Amino acid sequence: MKKVAYIRTSTGKQTLGIEVQKEALKAYNPTHWFIEQVSGRKVDREQLNRALDILEEGDTLIVYKLDRLGRSTKQLVNLISQLEEKKIHLNIITEGIDTSTATGKLIFTILSAVAEMEASLISERTKQALAMSDNKGGRPRLNNLTKAKVLEMHRKQTYTVSEIALELNISESSIYRIVRTHKLNSNKG
């Protein structure tokens, strides 16, 4: 019987989160490890899919925490249904959930609903904070002087895009967008 460990963090900056999960899962002696850095809201996750593909009847999927599997009740319930159909167990170590038991299945379903509510509350608070803030999210607007400097530095061809970005403290994608927009506007007139 395989014991498959699945570890997930949301961003590439959360390497500590990966190490914490790895250390905790080692005690369960996984035979396979799958690790990825992607949003829990994303439905199609490559490493989770690979983990699910190798699991067979009687195997166990081991995760550190419920929210490592997903952020919505629907997503989590679909996953547990998929595991149940294949007769695969789920062990969520921080919550002490083992779906090989009826109680474990019940607790899993309840915690799935709580995880979705928590994600909704975070989203709601973020929207409220942005509504009350001068910062409305998204990228900051660049003033005309900065745009003119970008075009001038780009035209001279003595600076790389990276150097322009560093000098003006803007992203490379902003530089490409400014240059592209300028070319489009120049072609119209």
DSSP-derived letter for residue 140 is P
Token code pair at residue 61: 């999927």
For 85-158, strand residue ranges (E) read 89-92, 97-98
CB atoms within 10 A of CB 39: 13
In this predicted structure, the answer to whether residue 77 has a pLDDT above a threshold of 90 is: no
Whether 26 contacts 80, CB under 8 Å:
no
Residues 98 and 182 in one domain: no
Query: Is residue 136 domain-resident?
Result: no
Active site residues: 10
Residues 107 and 167 in one domain: no
Residues 184 and 118 in one domain: no
Burial of residue 64 (number of CB atoms within 10 Å: 0-12, 13-18, 19+): buried
Measured distance CA(92)–CA(68) in Å, rounded: 9
What is the per-residue pLDDT across 79-93, written as a single tens digit (0 to 9) for each?
877 888 899 999 999
Binning pLDDT at 50, 70 and 90, where does residue 26 land? Answer: very high
Residues 100 and 50 in one domain: yes
Token code pair at residue 71: 């952020």
- Domain span at residue 153 reads 144-188
- Structure confidence at residue 16 (pLDDT): 63
- Structure confidence at residue 90 (pLDDT): 92
Measured distance CA(66)–CA(79) in Å, rounded: 12
Does the pTM surpass 0.75? The reply is no
Element (H, E) at 35: strand 32-37
Token code pair at residue 129: 């904070």
The residues facing 7 across adjacent strands are 35
Residue 150 is part of a domain; what is its CATH number? Answer: 1.10.10
In this predicted structure, the answer to whether residue 57 has a pLDDT above a threshold of 90 is: yes
Give 3-state DSSP helix, strand, coil % of the chain, rounded to 5. 55, 10, 30
Map residue 8 onto helix, strand or coil: strand
**Residue scoring higher pLDDT (135 or 147):** 147
Measured distance CA(178)–CA(160) in Å, rounded: 15
What is the per-residue pLDDT across 154-172, written as a single tens digit (0 to 9) for each?
888 888 888 888 888 888 8
Nearest to 3 by CA among 49, 51, 60, 52: 60
Residue 103 is part of a domain; what is its CATH number? Answer: 3.40.50.1390
In this predicted structure, the answer to whether residue 121 has a pLDDT above a threshold of 60 is: yes
Query: Is residue 138 domain-resident?
Result: no
Residues 86 and 114 in one domain: yes
The residue behind tokens 């900056």 is: 13
Residues 86 and 24 in one domain: yes
